[in-house]
């Protein structure tokens, strides 16, 4: 099953993408280990269980309660964990795996090996974990971003062997929506040649507060710029559409010519604090709390947002399931309120403040410093490349001048429900999270495409799609003698160089923003990146 599926026409004006099927199981299904039992680890475990032809066989997680709950839900059920099913630290797994291999070489009876690893730890840990695991030769999927700086991205690139499959958590490539959108644009050319794209990532007012003001991604020094942490896969999608060659093309990537960016932390800071909030630094001790839309009590316990934040509550209080199981919902609420009441002051060591989220902290009094509003502009110059027998016009296909903008904005009603306007020589497209609307300039006709999306599917079913394709690639290599390079291209559909390129574009955009300049990207790429790969 390749990432790009055929679609059926239903009626004259509606096209629907059918639900992707689950790949059939081989006699020896891929065995998967998850490193990090937090929200993303849980998402991929569910995706493995529901959408792939592999099985989750192990968890690496330092917090005992989280590890055991994860194992009960995804691995060993009501039984006790067996040898090789749980590890406190990824170094423990490495030591165990080396010993397992030693015993296997001596002919001893040992557990079957792990075939693939999903790395779902915090961003700044990605490099150390990948560099530690890479020598084992196990196939790797790393949650985005690859790393928090370009140097670490390059180190990761160098550490991986050609015999290893590698995937990055750019889940937007694997949504039925974007798979269809790319096909329409690059293969069917429904609007001719792309001239410009305006893409918006609406983070969401409470979601930004949760993750980028109170949560683990609030500071560049302990995580990364918000453009990297939140929107690196938006950048990847734009480059996937405008830079990477379409399927079947042998032409090289069409690199952007320039990149510029502007943005800042404009809202979530002390100067915006309502006067009525006074000197309060925590929602639970603030007189303004009942009025404030960012009240932690309202967000995590209120009926208005509770359905949306259910998967975030376990981030605030990892032991919430055990609290509810032992004392009911009221006990869970009491424990959650106690956690929200935790605060810091001027005497709290900075290291203690930085190592965790503070989910009851006033959003105007936090130690956050990442941008809450940012735009990136990329331009492409004409770069025709003629193949044998091609005309000059054909040499221009997909390689003409064009422009793209990305807008990441915090204060929105939509929560990560991206929308995009694409303008071409023969028509234009408006695409949101549920539909793709194509307007044809020549016929004046409008056609609406409705890609299949399962209700509640994470990232428009991209989480399941990415897991399905990564595990399928492992299966084809393990059980069907496919070459790693072929499986990487056919099923994962993204090279490691593309991963580096999209991350590099983010770092170039940040350099442009901070220096208030326009970066010449080809020169920057050659000097800063290409010479180090």
Q: Which of 434, 517, 460, 510 is nearest to 150 (CA)?
A: 510
Q: Whole-model pTM?
A: 0.91
Task: Spell out the SS3 assignment of 340-400.
Answer: HCCCCCCCCCHHHHHCCCCCCECCCCCCCCCCCEEEEEEEECCCCCCCCCCCHHHHCCCCC
Residues 374 and 234: beta-carbon distance below 8 Å:
no
Residue 330 parent element (H or E): helix 320-340
Written as six digits, the tokens of 280 are 């309060």
DSSP state for residue 531 in the 8-state scheme: G
Closest CA to 37 of 80, 85, 1, 98: 85
Superfamily, domain 8-172:
NAD(P)-binding Rossmann-like Domain (3.40.50.720)
What the block records as the tokens of 328 is 């009911």
List Cα–Cα distances, 452 to 11, 14, 267, in angstroms: 16, 12, 37
Of 101, 132, 106, the closest CA to residue 119 belongs to: 132
Per-domain boundaries in the chain: 8-172, 270-354
- Nearest CA to 134 out of 153, 109, 112, 161 is that of 161
Contact between 130 and 48 under an 8 Å Cβ cutoff? The reply is no
Give per-residue burial for 242-277: e unless 16+ CB within 10 Å, then b. Answer: bbbeeeeeebebbbbbbbbbebebebbbeeebeeeb
Q: 59 has which bridge partners?
A: 34, 86
CB 499 within 8 A of CB 168: yes
375, 261 Cβ separation under 8 angstroms: yes
Q: Yes or no: say if 161 and 398 are a contact pair by the CB < 8 Å rule.
A: no
Strands 166-168 and 194-202: unpaired
- Cα 440 to its chain centre, rounded Å, is 33
The three-state secondary structure class of 438 is strand
| 35-59 core/surface letters (b: 16 or more CB in 10 A; e: else) | bbbbebbbbbbbbbeebbbbbbbbb
Pairing verdict, β 194-202 and 419-424: antiparallel
Question: Cα(319)–Cα(317) distance, rounded to whole angstroms?
Answer: 6
Number of residues assigned to the chain = 533
b/e string for 220-241 if b means 16 or more Cβ within 10 A? bebbbbbbbbbbbbbbbbbbbb
**pLDDT tens, position by position, for the chain (533 residues)?**
444 444 444 434 666 666 677 899 999 999 999 999 998 999 999 999 999 999 999 999 999 989 999 999 999 999 999 999 999 999 999 999 999 999 999 999 999 999 999 999 999 999 999 999 999 999 999 999 999 999 999 999 999 999 999 999 999 999 988 999 999 999 999 999 999 999 999 999 999 999 999 999 999 998 999 999 999 999 999 999 999 988 778 889 999 999 999 999 999 999 999 999 999 999 999 999 999 999 999 999 987 667 778 888 988 998 888 899 889 989 999 999 999 999 999 999 999 999 899 999 999 999 999 999 999 999 999 998 887 778 888 888 889 999 999 999 999 999 999 999 999 999 999 999 889 999 999 999 999 998 766 654 445 678 999 999 999 999 999 999 999 999 999 999 999 999 999 999 999 999 999 999 999 999 999 999 988 88
Alpha carbons within 13 A on the beta-carbon side of 320: 21
Radius of gyration in angstroms for the set of CA atoms belonging to the chain, rounded to a whole number: 24
Could you tell me the sign of the dihedral formed by the alpha carbons of 347, 352, 354, 360, in that order? negative
């Amino acid at each position: 099953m390749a990432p790009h599926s055929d679609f059926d026409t239903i009626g004259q004006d509606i096209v629907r993408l059918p639900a992707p099927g689950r790949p059939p199981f081989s006699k020896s299904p891929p065995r998967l280990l998850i490193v990090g039992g937090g929200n993303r680890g849980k998402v991929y475990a569910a995706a493995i269980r529901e959408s792939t032809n592999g099985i989750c066989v192990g968890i690496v997680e330092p917090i005992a309660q989280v590890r055991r709950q994860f194992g009960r839900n995804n691995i060993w059920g009501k039984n006790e964990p067996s040898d090789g099913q749980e590890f406190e630290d990824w170094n423990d797994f490495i030591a165990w795996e080396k010993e397992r291999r030693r015993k296997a070489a001596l002919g001893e009876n040992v557990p079957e090996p792990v075939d693939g690893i999903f790395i779902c730890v915090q961003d700044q840990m990605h490099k150390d974990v990948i560099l530690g695991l890479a020598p084992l030769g196990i196939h790797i999927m790393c949650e985005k971003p690859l790393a928090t700086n370009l140097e670490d991205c390059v180190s990761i690139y160098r550490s991986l062997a050609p015999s290893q499959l590698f995937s990055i958590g750019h889940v937007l490539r694997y949504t039925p929506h974007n798979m269809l959108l790319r096909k329409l644009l690059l293969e069917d050319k429904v609007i001719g040649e792309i001239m410009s794209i305006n893409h918006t990532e609406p983070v969401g007012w409470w979601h930004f507060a949760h993750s980028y003001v109170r949560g683990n991604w609030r500071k560049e020094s302990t995580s990364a710029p918000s453009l990297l942490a939140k929107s690196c896969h938006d950048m990847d999608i734009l480059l996937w559409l405008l830079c990477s060659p379409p399927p079947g093309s042998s032409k090289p990537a069409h690199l952007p010519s320039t990149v510029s960016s502007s943005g800042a932390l404009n809202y979530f800071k002390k100067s915006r604090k309502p006067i009525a909030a006074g000197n309060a630094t925590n929602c639970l001790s603030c007189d303004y709390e009942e009025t404030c839309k960012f009240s932690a009590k309202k967000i995590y316990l209120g009926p208005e947002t509770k359905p949306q934040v259910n998967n975030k509550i376990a981030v605030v209080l990892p032991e919430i399931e055990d609290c509810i199981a032992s004392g009911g919902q009221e006990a869970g609420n009491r424990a959650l309120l106690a956690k929200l009441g935790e605060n810091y002051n001027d005497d709290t060591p900075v290291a203690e403040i930085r190592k965790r989220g503070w989910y009851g902290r006033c959003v105007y009094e936090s130690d956050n410093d990442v941008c809450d509003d940012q735009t990136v502009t990329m331009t492409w110059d004409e770069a025709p490349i003629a193949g044998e027998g091609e005309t000059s016009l054909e040499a221009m296909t997909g390689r003409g001048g064009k422009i793209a903008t990305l807008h990441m904005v915090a204060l929105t009603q939509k929560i990560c429900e991206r929308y995009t306007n694409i303008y071409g020589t023969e028509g234009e497209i408006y695409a949101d999270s549920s539909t793709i609307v194509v307007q044809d300039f020549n016929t004046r006709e409008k056609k609406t495409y409705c890609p299949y999306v399962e209700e509640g599917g994470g990232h428009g079913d991209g989480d399941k799609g990415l897991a399905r394709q990564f595990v399928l690639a492992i299966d084809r290599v393990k059980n069907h003698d496919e070459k790693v390079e072929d499986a990487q291209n056919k099923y994962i559909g993204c090279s490691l160089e593309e991963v580096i390129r999209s991350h590099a574009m983010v770092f170039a955009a940040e350099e442009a923003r901070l220096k208030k300049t326009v970066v010449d990207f080809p020169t920057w790429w050659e000097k800063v990146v290409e010479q180090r790969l």
